[in-house]
A and B are shown apart, each in its own frame.
Chain A
Amino acid sequence: MSEVKFTVFRFDPTTDKRHRFETYSVSEKPGMTVLEGLYYIQEHLDGSLAFRSSCRAGVCGSCAMHINGTYRLACETQVKQLGATVRVRPLAHLPVMKDLFVDMEPFWRKYKSIKPYLIPGDDPGENERLQTQDERGRLDVIIDCILCAACYGSCTVNNYDEEYLGPAALLKAQRFFSDSRDQADEERLELVDGEHGVWRCHTIFNCQQVCPKTIDITGSIGVLKRNLMAKRLSPSLKKS
């Protein structure tokens, strides 16, 4: 069994003046993921290491972090694809509470600000609302978002504008905007307009590149921009 080096960001703001990187030697098992490596360290080498995890199957969104140069989910990243050293840092643009464990509050606050819930205009009565397969198909992939915040960490705009809503919240806005059952287009467009909204997106595509669900986030933000423009230029234009 070969050894692999884990170089891990360590920082406890209640006791440390600044962060440091510590290196741990982990014996590599076949199929080992970065998350399993972190658990090995936490359980056997240094119990104080802090990181989130839950499903270990890439669907709960707990374990997004910066691994060897890019943002990924630790649970689905194979160690053997990374070379001899695994370098791990926390998500950027969110305050570190301890090591890889960041304060997600700003992320959730922005998510909540776009009214992330269906706003239908009608009373559906007892039966389900009808939705054609085509209408439903428009939600495919967008609804795969697991709110892991990999996009938020990767977005350079989040770096200089603390109030920028960020890719995930805007994607969620587009998810409801695109739902045939939702009737709050104007309201939601208004929420994402403005200086910290869609116009801050500089179409750098970082979010899209790191998204573990390969969602076209930048394109989704583009849909909102296009419809905002259309509304401004010609209020009678149809939603596109």
Chain B
Amino acid sequence: MRYHQVVVVGGGLAGLRAALELNKRNVKVAVVSKVHPLRSHSVEAQGGINAPLGNHPRGSHDSPELHAFDTVKGSDYLADQQAVMRLTSDAALRIREMEHWGVPFSRTAEGKIAQRPFGGAGFPRTCFATDKTGHVLLHTLYEQCVRYEQASERGEMVIYDEQVVIALIIENGACRGVVVWDFQTGEIDVIKSEAVIFATGGAGRIFGKTTNALISTGLGMAIPYWAGVPVKDFEFVQFHPTTLFGTNILMTEGARGEGGYLLNNKGERFLANYDDSRKAMEVAPRDIVARNMTSEILEGRGFEDEYLHLDLRHLGRKKILERLPGIRDLAIRFVGVDPIEAPVPVQPGMHYTMGGIDTDATGASPVPGFYAAGECGCVSVHGANRLGGNSMLETIVFGAIAGATAAEYVLAGGTGHPPKDAIYEEARKREEARLKGMFEGTGTENPADLKEALNQTMNNNCWIFREEEKLNAGIATVEELLERYKQITLNSSGLRVNFDLLWALELGGNLAMAEVMLKGARDRKESRGSQFRTDYPTRDDQNWLKHTLAVYTEHGPKFSYSEVDVSIWEPKERKY
């Protein structure tokens, strides 16, 4: 049995930033990550990170208030406004801190951090390092962790790679540790702690067509959900307008920010034909662009009824090589198209879960000692639609905040009493039996078949245009898959380096979160931000200006609703 004052689960941007904050405050922290931290999905983020630095001449008047207003409007007024102010007020501090730690941001002519235009903002606010911003941010945070792992002047910091957290330990209503499966040795162990922070990323792999890494399954949301922590606003899913046809690998919004066009099969910039994107065109917010692209394809103006063209040719070789080298490389490797010479085939794809583990603006969940930050959590600062460039900002701002909150909790004595060792041993035994039971069953279902069926049903029934009938069909399928999941069989036994078992566990998370998403989407009878209901095509503030909360029960999620903080800006019709 190991002991650390705080356990951070997940080694992406939010997790590492939280760990550094705890370390700075001399709290003994361990990061537990199912992959090496540098393999986390954060590394795939491309286009940039927002902050009101005012480094671009067109944005020199920028301020936290302007940034917050754009974020709230982008969220279709579902974001909590004071929390958004916290996000944008800390933005400049956190970005400059990342620069001080060594992030190689692209630069302006004066040598400052460069900024580019992104959707939902009237001027350039998105800081970037070519189109590899997530890569350099993650590498830099990991470098800082290595520095303090080695340093003696601060408290202990340990990173456990390739160890999978499989359960929370909750005693008397407070979180007191985690059960860990060491993937390399096969050992099931317990880490005792005063507090736990989850920073486990999103759940894109519920869907077939997604930009997310294969590891973004939602298991990190399902584990606290099963343990009784509510999940908030999970019906809100961001579909990114430009993902590569075939693989759904991301083509950054920066491509349009830098001036790229979206074209239909007639060669038209069709966004001009839709009221909500006529003015902002390619840099309208993601929900709007993805929806109008989908309409265009459904109405027969796409290519092969599947995709549209992202045309960068007019930007010229120099700008593409300077600003967008990464996506050029991806387009060449994965679809055989060089954007310098030809348009790139793109279609909308699942990109981001706005919803997640319910937290307040300090990163705290309703369960004492349990915190969440980054995509797995929901503060909410993104509401019904996240602006591009705000997700990485959320990871470093709320990663630091969650770390600080957990540190204060621990330093103030936590729950005030140490639990008995027996609860840990009990949890360890229970989890070991559960995992072994998964390959001792007599069922006949192959988890890969269930995953395929789930992906298809989510693509078909919980996509950009939603309606009751389809959502119900999706729910019926997922309920059936949850039953079949009890009958899975694995053909590889043993706990050491067993991917068969790992993917079966992940699938359990997939299914749990898909059920929450579908049912939340069905119950929300309005259209807001990313959720567009063809049977309820308008926003309904009277009945639905509220957050959805889902709590796990044996018979499926139990829903309740909570107030949205609209204390700064009165909700208005969202026009661009």
Which residues of A pack against B, CB within 8 Å? 14, 31, 42-44, 46-62, 76, 97-98, 101, 103-104, 108, 112, 115-118, 120, 124, 126-133, 135-136, 139-140, 143-144, 146-147, 176, 179, 181-182
Contacts and interface: CB of A to CB of B under 8 A. Distances in A.
Given A52-B35, A98-B496, 13 more contacts: A31-B246, A44-B446, A48-B500, A54-B213, A55-B44, A62-B39, A112-B149, A117-B147, A135-B111, A136-B104, A136-B107, A144-B135, A146-B135
A53 B110 CA distance: 41
A44 B448 CA distance: 8
B146 A104 contact: no
- A46, A57, A132, A143: most-surrounded residue (chain B CB, <10 A): A57
Contacts of B497: 50, 97-98, 101
A66 B491 CA distance: 26
A162 B214 CA distance: 33
A50 to B, nearest CB: 5
B367 interface: no
A54 B35 contact: yes
Contacts of B329: 58
A44 B452 CA distance: 12
A196 B106 CA distance: 34
A56 B213 contact: yes
A134 B111 CA distance: 9
Interface of B: 35-36, 38-41, 43-44, 95-96, 99-102, 104-107, 109-113, 129-130, 132, 135-136, 139-140, 143-144, 146-147, 149-150, 184, 213-215, 246-247, 249-250, 326, 329-330, 333-334, 446-448, 490-492, 496-500, 503
A117 B143 contact: yes
Nearest to B245: A31
A83 to B, nearest CB: 18
A97 to B, nearest CB: 6
Contacts of A60: 38-41, 43-44, 213
A53 B246 CA distance: 19
A14 B497 CA distance: 11
Contacts, number: 149
B492 A54 contact: no
A48 B135 CA distance: 31
Given A58-B333, A61-B38, A179-B102, A143 B136 contact: yes
A58 B100 contact: no
B499 A50 contact: yes
A129 B249 contact: no
- What are the 6 tightest A-B residue pairs by CB atom distance, in nearest-first order? A118-B102, A130-B111, A47-B500, A43-B448, A117-B143, A48-B492
Contacts of A127: 96
Nearest to A130: B111
Given A53-B214, A57-B249, A116 B43 contact: no
B521 to A, nearest CB: 27
B107 A14 contact: no
A117 B99 contact: no
A49 B492 CA distance: 9
Contacts of A58: 329-330, 333
A135 B96 CA distance: 18
Nearest to B35: A54
Contacts of A135: 111
A133 B38 contact: no
A110 B345 CA distance: 41
Contacts of A112: 146, 149-150
Contacts of A133: 107, 109, 111
24 contacts: A43-B448, A46-B492, A50-B498, A54-B41, A54-B213, A54-B214, A55-B39, A55-B43, A55-B44, A55-B213, A56-B247, A56-B249, A57-B250, A57-B330, A118-B140, A124-B99, A127-B96, A130-B110, A133-B107, A136-B106, A146-B38, A146-B135, A176-B102, A179-B102
A199 to B, nearest CB: 25
Contacts of B448: 43-44
Contacts of B330: 57-58
A98 B111 CA distance: 48
Nearest to B335: A31
A88 B359 CA distance: 45
Contact of A128 (B96, B149, B214): B96
B1 to A, nearest CB: 23
